[in-house]
Structure formats: C-alpha cells, structure tokens
Structure 1
Amino acid sequence: MKIIVDAMGGDNAPQAPVMGAIQANKEDGVEVILVGRGEDILKTLADNGISDLPSGMEIAHASEVVEMCDDPATAFRKKKDSSLTVGLNLLKNGAGDAFISAGSTGALLSAATLVTKRIKGIRRAALAPVVPTGNGGAVLIDCGANAECPPEYLLQFAYMGSYYAEKVLGREKPKVGLLNIGAEPSKGTDLQTTVYPMLEAASDAGRIHFVGNVEAREAVQGAVDVIVSDGYSGNIFLKTMEGTGLYLAREIKAMFMKNLFTKLAALLVSGGLKEFKRKMDSSEVGGTALLGISKPVIKAHGSSDAKAIRSAIAKTKEYIASGIIEDITNNIDLMRLDTPAAAEKE
C-alpha cells in the first residue's frame, strides 16, 4: 500500500506532513510519496536530523503551492505544477493508492472532482468526518463541501454515509438520521420535507436503516450512526461541536486548578480527563474522506501536526481496505433519481 501525501498543504507544512509520513513509514511500514518542493522537503528532513530518505519513501517534485488565498475552483488549474495537482495526477495514474492533503478544502474538492473524477452517477462528493458522540462516533455527511443541496444529494449522502459507518466503523445496520429542528416528518425547510419520504422509501426497501429526523442534541448523545445534512447546516453543527469541546476542556481545567483540593481531585480522575481530551482531539481523527470520489482522497485538518498526519494515514489505510468505493459503485442505481436534470449535471 502506497500513500501520496501533499507535503506543502496545511498550516504546518512541510514539517507536519513530512514528519507525520516519516512516523507512519517507520512505525507502521507505510510506503509514502511526498509531493512538493524537493528542496523544502530535504531541508525539513535535515532540520530533524534525518540525512537520508527512509526506505519505502520517495519525493515527487512539485514547484508550486496552492495557497489558502487562491481561488479554490481554479487554483489547481492555474498552478498545474502544484503539490495538489501533481499528487492527484499521481493517484489518477495509479502511482499510489490514496492521496492526503491538509491544504485548501475547496481546492482539494474541485481538483479531486475534475482530476480523479466522481464515481459515475454520484452528483457531488461529500466530506464525511466521524464526530464524537455518545455511541462512539457518528458519520456527519456533509459537513461543508456542498452548502446548497437538492434532495438527491442528501439521498446519496445517506447511502454513502451508511456504507462508511458499516465498512469503516464496523456498525451493523447503521442508523441513519436526517439533521433537523424536530423529530416530526413535517419539520424543516423544503429540502428536509422533500428528502424525508425518499429516505423513508429507501429504508422500507431495506437499503438503509433510516430512523427519521434527528435533532442536534440527540445526534451528539448518540441517537444515530449517520447524520445526514446539507453542507451549510452540517458545517455549523461540526464547528459548534468543536467550539463546545474546547470550551468544556478549558472550563474543566480551570475548575480543577482552583486550589490544592481540586488539584488532588484532578489526579483521581486524570484517566477520565485524558480519555475525554482524546475523544475531542482532532489529531486523533486525522482525516476526513471525500466520499463519492472514484479513488481514496482524504482531507486532513488544516492545522494538522505530525501526529494528525500519521493518524490520517492510518485512517486512509482503513478506508482503502474497506471496499467502500466498490460498494458505492455497485449500488449506484439505487442512489439515483433518473431525471433529465440529474443526467445533465453528472
């Protein structure tokens, strides 16, 4: 298995991608292609006391970098020798099994769609992170790739999220919920009320296990395994969870640091506090799959450190082994609304 890593993507590049890849290679035996400015990658190695590239690793030189300020829709075309474009072309041509980048989400989505292509019949690729919930985590799809969605997008998201929960998270008959402001089928905007009977019909046919609308608080408590949403609402849900986690962590720390007695109490519950911190730590999650792309493409968090990149590589290995792309491809006919408009937009 060979993973292609964008060495120039993210706030901490090239340090984080290079050293995260080194760790994955050394400790997990993963073969890696580092894509980026060769001189910058070699300097990073030298700065970390590494004189030679480890066995199983190679560098693919790319002279340009897609910056966060670049137009996401056109950056990869204007910068044809960027690490993003070169890396995805390597994936397309079979040089590696997957591509990971911590760079611009919009540019990665656009480039993956046009270079490696969507699975035929999938209308839009979706970001599908696993968010911490009361049942050990749920797939949130979509969380920002598609701000405006017609009902067919959400229908396809439900199928893809269900396959991911089953194949990657190991959930048997994963429960699928539609993120909404109430449990009743009549609640929500036109989008939610229109897609609800579509999801219900798919559930009645035994294709997914749709359990109805789910409010944000129930979703966090673990009511479902898959949270289906448009990218706008899903991104607000995700960012609220992240902010709440940071706030709680800060408040709990302050509470235990008040005096000697609270510090002693902290020692008694230190194991639980560490576990809570681990659950809320984005570096443990590593990366988010772009579901619907014909080859494995993983978006790592923009602020990823080396640990997060290594985690992203580990998650990518699971994603490759899951066979989820084949599942989506083989079941695409169940996920389509065969209308002239839909066919026109593919």
Structure 2
Amino acid sequence: MNRSAKQSTPVIALDAMGGDIGPPVVIAGAELARERYPDIRFRIYGQEQVIRDALASAPRVAAEAEIIHVDGVVLGSDKPSHAIRRARTTSMGLAIDAVKQGDALACVSAGNTGALMAMAKLALRTMDGIDRPALVALMPTMKSDSVVLDLGANTECDAENLVQFAVMGAAFARTVLGLERPKVAFLNIGEEEMKGTESIRDAAQLLRTAAVELPLDFLGNVEGNGIAQGDTDVIVTDGFSGNIALKTAEGTARLVTGLLADAFRASWLSKLGYLLSRSALRALKDHIDPNNHNGAVFLGLNGIVVKSHGGANIKGFANAIGVAHDLVTQDIHARIQADMANFAAHRPGAPGSTANAA
C-alpha cells in the first residue's frame, strides 16, 4: 500500500506493553481515540492474551485492530543501549519498526523515554536538512497551549540546531494547534538581542533574516517567566533548558493545586469558599491536567513517533493517539520539508537570497 493510500486510512502502531499500567490503558485509550477518529486503524504489539483480554471492553478497536504477538517488554529501568539490542524482540522495537517498514504511519508508546528515543533515531534516521531530532510537546499557558522544544533530546545545541527546531516547531503548531502563522521565540535570560549564548544570538540572526519568507512570525526572545503568559506560540531552546522548564512548570502546577487544597481545608469558612468556587477550580484543574496535553513527539525523524506519559490515564493516551492522527493526516513531514527548503533558499548567503542585499 502506498503512502497516499495509507493516509486516507491512518494506521498507527501501538506499544501495548508500555506505561505504568500497560494494555488496559493503551486499549481503552485506543477505543476512545477511535470514537473521536473513526478512520484510525491499529497494529497492536505486545503479549497477545493480555491484549485480547483488554479488547473485550473495546469493540471499536477489536473490530479493526491487528495484533502482533511479542513477548519482550522494554522496562522503565532498561538502559537505551540494552533496549536497542533487544529491539527486534520487544513490543516497543517492533512498533517503531512498523513505521520504518511502512506498515504504520505512526507509533505511540508510553514506555521508557530514553529507549524509545534511541530506537526511533536508529531505526528511522533524521530527515534531509535536519541534523538532530527534537522532543516537542504542548505546555498549558494563561491563554491556550504553547509548543515547546527541545525537551530533552539534545542537551547542547548550536545555532543551526535551534533554527531547525524553530522551523519544525512552527510546522507542529500549524498542524496541531491550527495556527496560520505561529509566533516563535527563543527561550533566553532576557528579551534583548544581545542577551544569551552565542548559539542563541546566531540562531536569532539567522531566523530573523529568513523568517519573512516562512509561515511564522519571529518575536526574538522570551524569558522563563513569559512562558506561561501565552503570548508566544512556539518556544525554542536546547534540551537541557527545555527539560528544566518543563519539570519546573509541572512542579509549580502541583504546588499551586496542593496549596489550594490545603487552604480550602483550613477552616469551615474556607470550605464554604471551596463550594462557592468549585466550578472555577474544576476549570483550573482541567486546564493544567497533563493528560489534556499528552503526546510528545520526536520531530525531525523519517517517521512519526509519539511518546505518551507513562502515567497517562485513558483520556491522556487517547490524546497522544490524537496527536499522531493529526500529524499523519496533515502530513507534518511535507510541511517541515517545504519550510526547511524555503529557509535554505532565503537564509543569509544563499544564492539569490534577499538577505544578501542587506
């Protein structure tokens, strides 16, 4: 079956054994995803009997899914090097291989992040024009969601890496968030152009001169305290800073909800206040619930690999499948390739580039 034919019926490979709970959440999440996206079909990799037991409560998935039995499981404690050696005998490795072989257009796993990234990079390789893949995900803000990358795939990045991340992140925002011209900025210690590392300054100069020809608006820099404001659609950084920003945001969300819970338990008057503000608190909890933003992606590979949080619930895993569905049906790779070609044609030094005239 050719690629265009597959895109009319998206086939997604699921690592059924990944995550804290495994098949019960994976299959129930797939059932919810099929309710939302009836065109999805699944290839499910894992221990067959356990999968079939879970399918008993998932008629939509059971009617269309293909089960591929495999005994091996990548554990959360496995080192990436060990997982790579066992790739052909594990549910995670074979789910990724399905994308490589063209049997599926995307893979979704809630398993070991390091192992998933290592196996995906080795099996799928990077796209032409992309030096390194980046881990990208959505982060809730005061206004909506923002795209943040890299979140840990690359601890050190040069200017070329950061520019490539910016182009890929903007394509992701157009695909997943439906933005026509995403607003892009580099995470920095100040908004001024002279602030930050040499890599960030050089990347900003490269992107600023070519951004007018790309489907994005380059804002320059954003500080850490500006992430949550929601004025920037795509926030670009190296994996070291990005991972810290993500974990800090997650910890802050837990701190706020914990303090609120303690405050509302403090007295009978505060308990009354809770009853009066219950609907607003539910809205807050829903907005910062990580399950509503679940589904990180290794952008820049020759294939779509989506990482679900290991502790995701049914709704969370369904959302991760939804991210895969959007990237497949809207052909994120074609968008990235077109944008990278456009950037290459208009970057400083490119033949005929308008930037040269300056």
User: 1: distance between equivalents of 2:339 and 2:80?
Assistant: 31
Corresponding residue for 2:101?
Answer: 93
How far the C-alpha of 1:74 sits from its partner, in A, is: 4.9
Deviation readout 1:122-149 (Å, 9 max, x if unpaired): 1111111110112301100111111111
Q: What SS does the corresponding residue of 2:80 show, helix, strand or coil?
A: coil
Q: What SS does the corresponding residue of 1:269 show, helix, strand or coil?
A: helix
Corresponding residue for 1:343?
Answer: none
Corresponding residue for 2:210?
Answer: 202
Please provide the CA RMSD for this pair: 2.4
Contact 1:25–1:56 (8 Å) recurs in 2: no
- 1:317-328 to 2 correspondence within 5 Å? 317-328=325-336
Q: What SS does the corresponding residue of 2:200 show, helix, strand or coil?
A: helix
Contact 2:188–2:224 (8 Å) recurs in 1: yes
Corresponding residue for 1:178?
Answer: 186
User: 2: distance between equivalents of 1:188 and 1:103?
Assistant: 35
Structure 1 residues without counterparts, runs of 5 or longer: 340-346
Q: What SS does the corresponding residue of 1:178 show, helix, strand or coil?
A: strand
Q: Are residue 32 (structure 1) and residue 42 (structure 2) matched? A: yes
Corresponding residue for 2:23?
Answer: 14
How far the C-alpha of 1:189 sits from its partner, in A, is: 2.1
Q: Which moved more, 1:61-70 or 1:122-131?
A: 61-70
How far the C-alpha of 1:338 sits from its partner, in A, is: 11
Corresponding residue for 1:150?
Answer: 158
Letter in 2 for 1:133: T
Contact 2:136–2:147 (8 Å) recurs in 1: yes
Deviation readout 1:291-345 (Å, 9 max, x if unpaired): 1122221110121222211121122222222322111122333456999xxxxxx
Q: Are residue 292 (structure 1) and residue 300 (structure 2) matched? A: yes
Structure 1 residues 152 and 53, CA gap change in structure 2 (3 angstroms): closer
Corresponding residue for 2:5?
Answer: none
Aligned residues: 337
Q: Are residue 257 (structure 1) and residue 291 (structure 2) matched? A: no
Corresponding residue for 1:58?
Answer: 66
How far the C-alpha of 1:60 sits from its partner, in A, is: 1.0
Letter in 2 for 1:23: L
TM-score (norm 1): 0.90
Contact 1:33–1:57 (8 Å) recurs in 2: yes
How far the C-alpha of 1:99 sits from its partner, in A, is: 0.7
Corresponding residue for 1:106?
Answer: 114
Q: What SS does the corresponding residue of 2:89 show, helix, strand or coil?
A: coil
Q: Which moved more, 1:235-244 or 1:26-35?
A: 26-35
How far the C-alpha of 1:8 sits from its partner, in A, is: 1.0
Q: Which moved more, 1:112-121 or 1:135-144?
A: 112-121
User: 2: distance between equivalents of 1:26 and 1:172?
Assistant: 28
Contact 2:133–2:299 (8 Å) recurs in 1: yes
Letter in 2 for 1:188: G
Contact 1:156–1:335 (8 Å) recurs in 2: no
User: 1: distance between equivalents of 2:58 and 2:198?
Assistant: 57
Identity of aligned residues (%): 35
Q: Which moved more, 1:182-191 or 1:263-272?
A: 263-272
Contact 2:291–2:312 (8 Å) recurs in 1: yes
Q: Are residue 283 (structure 1) and residue 291 (structure 2) matched? A: yes
Structure 1 residues 50 and 287, CA gap change in structure 2 (3 angstroms): closer
Letter in 1 for 2:168: M
User: 1: distance between equivalents of 2:102 and 2:231?
Assistant: 40
Corresponding residue for 2:356?
Answer: none
Structure 2 residues without counterparts, runs of 5 or longer: 1-9, 350-358
User: 1: distance between equivalents of 2:163 and 2:35?
Assistant: 41
Corresponding residue for 2:341?
Answer: 333
Contact 1:286–1:313 (8 Å) recurs in 2: no
Letter in 1 for 2:20: D
User: 1: distance between equivalents of 2:138 and 2:51?
Assistant: 31
Contact 2:209–2:348 (8 Å) recurs in 1: no
